[in-house]
Chain A
Amino acid sequence: MTIAALTKPWQALSYGFLDASAKRELRRKMLKAIAVPGCQMPYASREVPMARGWGTGGLQVTLTLLRPSSVVKVIDQGADDSVNAASIRSFLSKVSGATETWDTTAATILQSRHRIPEERLRADQVLVLQVPNPEPLRPVEPNMSIARQMHADADYGRLWLILYEQIVRSGRVMQGAAYPSLVNGRHVMTPSPIPRWDVPKLHMAQHLTFLSAGREKRLYAVPPFTRVEPLVFSDIPYQVEDHAALTCHRSGLRGYFMNEIPQDDGSAQFELSDSHLGIKAIRQAEGSAVEIGPTWYENGKMPQ
């Protein structure tokens, strides 16, 4: 027997780009994150061939989860075809042999920035959200050591203070994205910069969600069937964006989260933020055999 027979052949890169110890670190912290829903786990964030702040946290989680049979979808602001999303997706398939897709229903792993797709995720799918700033307490407590004590004490009063002052100043809650939400009745998390529209999708969802911040070196998770409750006052209900009555001017779909396209005459048109849902709707209208999966929102309403 030769030593060569006991070792694997030389490779230019580890499978899935990250080396074994980096993946082990990620795996351990991902398991911990699942064990304590919403609690931020510090991890040794590695260098990836992308600048910090462009989704390196999400990328590391995805790289750890990938295998050759994975089907991967990457979206940026709801779109599969933005430069950032396309580059990450092609990088992922190149280092892992995973299949690329734009179709939410076909994907096994979805890495996303700013949106959760409109089609309902299933138990066999994993959502990876890129998080720029994982600390919901940062606006009220600049000292991160104290912020961690506050998490330990479930001392979240000041987060309501922010909402209080928004209502005092503006008459309503102004928190548009990254709406602080209580996970499993214990830890408050930032659900990454997704709109208010998307937060209820995390509540008691079938799928597993990882949220990872590469620069801040923190990851946390929302396991399947876990309560995710946006912080609200008892007398002022949580409100999602007022998009239920808007119609996409390209696909004709209604009742989903829209992007506003300003027009030259000062008016605005709207198109679906989840671009591939729009594509599927257009193809379906043209007669192709395209399957649109069940969506979270039905007629612009989230069923309770």
Chain B
Amino acid sequence: MIAIDTALALQAPQLMTTPPLLTMAGVSRRYGDVVALQDVSATVYPGEVLGIVGESGSGKSTLLRMMNLEDTPDAGDYRLALPDLSGNLFDLDRFARRMLCATRIGIVYQNPHLGLLMKHTSSGNVAERLLIAGERSFATLRGRAREALGASEFPLERMDARPIELSGGMQQRVQLAKAIALEPALLLLDEPTTGLDVSVQALVLDTLKRLQRDRAITMVIVSHDLGVIRTMADRVMVMRRGRVVEQGLADQIFQDPQHEYTQQLVHAKL
């Protein structure tokens, strides 16, 4: 039995003094006449899970892709508080973006074809991340691929199967392993469980939760599924037609939504 130090627990609070890991400000993007993002700002603090909800076309996935530097907005500023990194990340050249995304940002797409080399082995998909970062020892690659797949609760006896031979839930685990292999500062999840069976969906979410708890990974999760966001997120941003209409603590957004659109969303949930 341990004595929980009551005095310690009753010390003065430590309010958030660390700066946000991710800061996005005034991001706008048009595709022709379509406004995908309009003056979107977001902050994510280290260890936090930010959920982004909204219906199809609300701009939530576009925003996530901006965070993964896959696109450049017409205007806006994006910073990550990481060592050796300063200035607006949208100003980085293609090469610097690629290195940053490969080494510091992990992403899991709804469609595994976007995130995986379907005809290579699952462990090879994970190893590729490490290879981009310059790892050249076979034993290390193998070991770290195994470790990342294990952490994603992927059955290791299948680690050399090709993703194309795997079920949707397993493919998402390979994506996840690939995303966390380099212990990224930021993990982006784009509808990670959409299209999976409900039971598989619960298992994948549980894995994500577990990872979040064990490693305190900072996550941004995009979903149109409020249940997923409710399970995962600490804070929630509600998007509609390229704008942020409301943000707040997850329980506040779900229990006391302020904006008309958020109320509609919450009430429409089964």
**A residues adjacent to B (C-beta < 8 A):** 140, 153, 155, 157-158, 160-161, 164-165, 167-169, 232-236
Contacts and interface: CB of A to CB of B under 8 A. Distances in A.
Contact of A161 (B94, B131, B139): B131
By CB atoms of chain B within 10 A, which of A140, A158, A160 has the most? A160
B251 to A, nearest CB: 43
B10 to A, nearest CB: 52
Contact of B137 (A140, A161, A233): A233
A236 to B, nearest CB: 5
Interface residues of B, number: 20
B31 interface: no
Given A157-B131, A164-B127, A232-B136, 10 more contacts: A157-B132, A158-B117, A158-B128, A164-B131, A164-B141, A168-B123, A168-B142, A233-B137, A234-B137, A235-B138
Interface in B102-139: 117, 120-121, 123-124, 127-128, 131-132, 136-139
A82 to B, nearest CB: 36
Given A153-B95, A155-B98, A168-B160, A161 B136 contact: no
B119 to A, nearest CB: 10
B149 to A, nearest CB: 13
A140 B139 CA distance: 22
Choose among A164, A165, A232, A236 the residue with the greatest number of B CB atoms under 10 Å from its CB: A164
A235 B123 CA distance: 18
12 contacts: A153-B94, A157-B132, A160-B136, A161-B117, A161-B120, A161-B124, A161-B128, A164-B138, A165-B124, A233-B137, A233-B141, A235-B138
Given A153-B94, A168-B121, A168-B160, A161 B127 contact: yes
A157 B95 CA distance: 14
Contacts of A165: 120-121, 124
B30 to A, nearest CB: 26
A168 B124 contact: yes
Nearest to B121: A165
A167 B131 contact: no
B123 A153 contact: no
A182 to B, nearest CB: 12
Nearest to A173: B138
Contacts of B94: 153
Given A165-B120, A168-B123, A153 B98 contact: yes
By CB atoms of chain A within 10 A, which of B117, B131, B160 has the most?
B131
Contacts of B138: 164, 167, 233-236
A197 to B, nearest CB: 22
Interface in B140-176: 140-142, 160
Max count, chain A CB within 10 A of own CB: residue among B121, B138, B140, B160: B138
A160 B132 CA distance: 10
**Closest CB pairs A-B (n = 4):** A157-B131, A233-B138, A157-B132, A234-B136
Contacts of A161: 117, 120, 124, 127-128, 131
A149 B140 CA distance: 28
A192 B171 CA distance: 36
Contact of B132 (A155, A167, A232, A234): A155
In the complex, which of the residues A153, A157, A165, A235 has the most CB atoms of chain B within 10 Å of its own CB atom? Answer: A157
Contact of B160 (A155, A169, A233): A169
A136 to B, nearest CB: 15
A232 to B, nearest CB: 8
Find the residue from A153, A161, A232, A236 having the highest chain B CB count within 10 A.
Answer: A161
Contacts of B128: 157-158, 161
A153 B142 CA distance: 25
A66 to B, nearest CB: 41
A236 B131 CA distance: 15
A160 B128 CA distance: 8
B95 A160 contact: no
A285 B141 CA distance: 52
Nearest to A150: B98
Contacts of A160: 131, 136
